[in-house]
Amino acid sequence: MERLELSQYFSEIYEKGEVPRFKVFIDGKWTLTKNRAPLISPATGKKIAEISVADSDDADRAIESANRSKEKIRDMAAIDRIELINTCRKELSQHMDEVSEVLSLEAGKASRSARGEINAVIERMRLAMEDSRKIIGEYLPGDWASDTSQKIALVIREPIGVVLGITPFNYSVFTSMAKVIPALLSGNSVIIKPPSADPIAFLMCTEVLRKTGVPEGTLQVITGSGGAISGKLVESEKINMISFTGSTAVGKKIAQDSGLKKLHMELGGKGTAIVLEDADLDSAAAECVRGSLELAGQRCDAISRILVVNGIADKFVELLSKHISDYKFGNPIEDTSVTMGPLINEESAKRVDDMVHDAIRKGAKLVAGGTRNGNYYAPTILKDVPLNAVIANEETFGPVITVIRVKDKEEARTVANASPFGLDSAVFTQNFYSAWWLMKSLQVGNVTLNAAPSHGTAYFPFGGVKDSGQGKEGVGYSIEEMMVIKTIILNLAPKELGKKYSGKFKDFV
């Protein structure tokens, strides 16, 4: 697909013109906003669409609609909510090819990556039943304490109200749907602000939800510049929770402006892989290449640096050089066999290039790559990277394999834990005790043994510590984040149904 053309099924979400003009979804209706912005394909460099740019008034309408409609989803039986998600799953499966082709074009993703993302969304919906098992409560008998001996309590989970989801470009569909699914399933209405760079595939998913019966007004999707509308949404007292995935800097700004709302934040990372002497080096190298280059490194769970023990560093770099050829680099629209395409825009590619050349100036050696053509950045290997290089410390978000030498596992732990980030790490060793020592002592939310980190369908929970965020995302865990606990206390004393405290044994305590 070189030109963006959608089937009749999705005709409501855009107006035809020289290029399609996409709408926002507010109060159950698709509408064009007063202003629009061009959408440029990272792969072709051509304008493929125009995206509606919502303003403050549009944000107000979305907030009002979400609040006015929240009882519709709250009052639905849980089984109906589950069946809604399952119906949407089946319908989306019928349009998987078209949605993934659009995602590839608008985000510059390799066909395999785009299809994998939509497949992950479908699988996430299938796992909605697992989510529902977390919507449970507890019965607490009060006679375990003297002051509540004739009372009982029910501890129940209820919807938090209106959830705002703000999502990034790298997994624009999966991350957005991974906020929509638990929000609706737990009985909340939800507003999604998808990324401006590649929102169309998610707009298509929104249409699938609309056609399969999501209650009118319980899902709002507004596109456009984050600066123009995010502040209005973040500060609104009618928003009860914010689930944000993106940079640490933006996350801190949201936390500063959001007041007392509940926050879930998945922020930046500096995924560190530690390779010890007894690791299966060929397997470790293949995993490190995959962890560094998948989606051109534009992943929060990417391997952003590799700490390799001195004695095996040279051999390991040779193996990295061998496995870098596992990735075919190029234009994924012209060649569907390409497995690594461009970065999202030229600004991102220039940032990566600056980091690479900063490392070289400070003593790192360029082994492969290091070239840029527009927003295409070649798969790159840097070895002997000093710790004072920018790329050794900041999130790369680009296809650079950064190798840093360390003396032993103790130094590796020290270097890893010095980072302000704490999202993902990986350890490569065949020694159980070394693995356990490192995995227990690394200050991260997730650590993987003998494989690259990968959040996948989020069946395993993930979430960071330190500057990488707060809260957990994943099947079952996301839904807990989007609910509040209420304690209902029943006094049984009037009918003498409770167990009365006698006090006759208190002297023996």
Q: Which of 142, 156, 48 is nearest to 102 (CA)?
A: 48
Q: Which of 235, 264, 303, 230 is nearest to 53 (CA)?
A: 230
Annotation marks residue 480 as catalytic: no
Cα–Cα distance, 299 to 351 (Å, whole number) = 15
Residue with token string 């006698």: 502
Annotation marks residue 71 as catalytic: no
H-type alpha helices, 75-185: 78-94, 96-107, 111-126, 128-132, 172-185
What residues have CB less than 8 Å from 450, skipping those under 6 apart?
A: 279, 280, 283, 284, 287, 426, 427, 428, 429, 430
Q: What does the angle CA 365 – CA 367 – CA 369 come to, to the nearest 5 degrees?
A: 115
Handedness of CA 462, 101, 348, 164 (dihedral sign): negative
What SS3 class is residue 266?
Answer: strand
HSE, CB side, 13 Å, CA atoms: give it for residue 460: 10
Q: Contact at 8 Å (CB) between 299 and 291? A: no
Residue type at 236 in one-letter notation: S
Which residues share a beta bridge with 152? Answer: 141, 490
What residues have CB less than 8 Å from 509, skipping those under 6 apart?
A: none
What SS3 class is residue 108?
Answer: coil
- Count of CB atoms situated within 10 Å of the CB of 295: 23
Find the catalytic residue in 300, 346, 395, 481. 300
Q: Contact at 8 Å (CB) between 247 and 400? A: no
Q: Which of 390, 124, 93 is nearest to 270 (CA)?
A: 390
Cα–Cα distance, 184 to 84 (Å, whole number) = 9
Find the catalytic residue in 207, 266, 294, 473. 266
The catalytic residue positions are 266, 300
